[in-house]
Amino acid sequence: MISLRRVGLFLLLPLLLPAVATAQGEPDPGAAAPDETGVEATEPLEAIPFPDLDTFEDAVAGQLLETRILMQGALANMKLPTAERGAALGSGCRLFHAYKIVSTAAACYRNASRLAPDDPRWYHLLAVLEQQEGHLEEAIVAYRKELALSPRSLAAWVRLGESLAGLNRQKEASEALSLALEIDPTSAAAMAGMGQVALSAKRFNEAILFFETALAAAPEANRLHYPLGLAYRGVGETELARHHLELRGPVGVAPRDPLMEELPGLTTGELAHLLRGRLAFKAAKPGVAIQEFRKAVDAAPESSRARVNLGSAYAQVGEAVAAAEQFREALRFDANNGTAHFNLGMVLGRRGELVEASNHLATAVRLEPEDAIALRELAAVLARGGRHDKALLAYREAVGLAPADEEARLGEARALVAMERYGEAVATLRGALDLMADSGQLTHALARLLAGSPDGAVRNGEEALNLAQVAFEARPSVGHARTVAMALAELGRCEQAAQWQRKALEASQGAAAATMDELRETLKIYESEKSCRFPVSRTTGGS
């Protein structure tokens, strides 16, 4: 199966909902949710009040029921980290929000924020709900939690200012709206909010300036004519006051809010199918996910987002050809879709089409230069194609962006070994272990290189043996046993090396014939009365 690191927009949106205890064996919505290590969340989840679906039209009721069931399945999928289950909950609950089922959506968002406390989306959507329901204190708390995580959110600052103003906390409101204007000095919503604050304080000239500027930026916002008319009345400009009061209308002004703008689309069409497809995938129902993503493509054939999601689902179930086809279609409609380039590069790389894979991964890096994972995967493909010098550069860029990425560190060392720069490889692994002392992969890789490097000056049997034993004790395996044997052989302790090699041979019964032959051949060397040092010709320096 091909495992993609990144997927399309909706596959990047986590979607889980806390439990809905409707059948025996389903999660208890009032229970704390264990994370991937089995540790329980600190706050218990609250029960979610789901509506009586008999009061809805059949199509809507079916959609809500299906979404609820998929949310249950995603929450019950304990292979997912707690935060990802919480994100799935929040995303699924957006459908209830879209249908204005407020109590359900609010409880969902609260649970989602408990499971995924570092995700600002659920605080934002909860805050908007609370604000719309007139629960301004609760809205302010949620907006502040969001802004602690996402301090550049224009919509949050504007809406926070509006909520504070609604409680007559005008100084705090002015501070929040001023911060919004620092982010976007042209924000009509922020200027209108500042105008309201000034009007409340009877600073009429200041209010006029803000309202006039807001109307110039958003002339369709005819509701602003009313407070502007009041401000003109306050300074004695009766004709202007009458003029603007007559122009008042129902259209207000709001900050750009992508999360809220997306809600209506969740009930029908492409977004509705993408939402259910993602939930199905999180619920470990890939067949259902593929069906939903196909429907999303049918609803919007030129949507690169729908194509990327469908391709990602195909890739996850091992249908590489179908996946590649969808990624290519996505790029036909959006040539700069970095996710499509990344995923296509990954699929092609697994199929051995290394040149084209590297081209797509290089494009993904060009589009997103700070993407350490894309750099690492590009390096891996380059290395598989024998382009070790270029691979080394890409690995080092990846390490620069993500110093604690074990795979990038190992790749860097392997590239150096492939270029016969063994001393640098050892120094690279030692440096990585200084940062990640508990890494079993790095420990084993360094032990193997010190035990069997083709460069005799690099070998260090004592250090290799210490590292190899640490790796084996942490995770007994055939590979780790072989490395202990190599280190013992480097120290001239041939009888013990042979004992460890026999242990590895016994544990490898049933392995490929070539592997068994290699193990037996090395055992003969260790059993020899001559020097049993691991042969340079068969040293890889790998892990």
Q: Please report, for the chain, the start and end positions of each structural domain, with discontinuous segments joined by +.
A: 13-118+264-293, 188-254
Instruction: Give the whole-number percent of the chain exceeding pLDDT 70.
Output: 90
The whole-number pLDDT of residue 535 equals: 63
The whole-number pLDDT of residue 13 equals: 30
- Cα–Cα distance, 386 to 257 (Å, whole number): 47
DSSP-assigned letters across all residues of 19-88: ----STTSPPTTSPPB-TTSPBPSSPPPPP----GGGS-HHHHHHHHHHHHHHHHHHH-TTS-HHHHHHH
Q: Which residue has the higher pLDDT, 222 or 539?
A: 222
CB 425 within 8 A of CB 417: yes
Helix/strand/coil for 536: helix
Tell me the CATH architecture of domain 188-254.
Answer: Alpha Horseshoe (1.25)
pLDDT tens by residue, 284-325 = 899 999 999 999 999 999 999 999 999 999 999 999 999 999
- Cα–Cα distance, 251 to 229 (Å, whole number): 16
400's tokens = 């620069």
Q: Which amino acid is at 129?
A: L
Q: Which spans in 320-353 are helix H?
A: 320-333, 338-350
Tell me the average pLDDT across 175-185.
Answer: 97
Tell me the average pLDDT across 94-102.
Answer: 95
The whole-number pLDDT of residue 529 equals: 62
- Cα–Cα distance, 119 to 110 (Å, whole number): 12
The whole-number pLDDT of residue 531 equals: 74
Would you put residue 525 in left (φ > 0), alpha (ψ -120 to 50) or beta? alpha
- pTM for this prediction: 0.74
pLDDT tens by residue, 36-76 = 333 344 478 899 999 999 989 998 999 999 999 999 898 88
Of the candidates 278, 288, 355, which has an alpha carbon nearest to the alpha carbon of residue 92? 278
Q: Tell the burial category of 199 from Cβ atoms under 10 Å away from its Cβ (0-12, 13-18, 19+).
A: buried
Average pLDDT along the chain: 89
Tell me the average pLDDT across 371-380.
Answer: 97
31's tokens = 């229970």
Instruction: Give the whole-number percent of the chain exceeding pLDDT 90.
Output: 79
Tell me the average pLDDT across 478-507.
Answer: 92
pLDDT tens by residue, 228-269 = 999 999 999 999 999 999 999 999 999 999 999 999 999 989
Where residue 533 falls among pLDDT bands split at 50, 70, 90? confident
The whole-number pLDDT of residue 541 equals: 41
pLDDT tens by residue, 260-280 = 999 999 998 999 999 999 999
- Cα–Cα distance, 165 to 285 (Å, whole number): 47
The whole-number pLDDT of residue 21 equals: 30
Tell me the average pLDDT across 511-531.
Answer: 85
**Beta-sheet strands, E only, within 30-111:** none
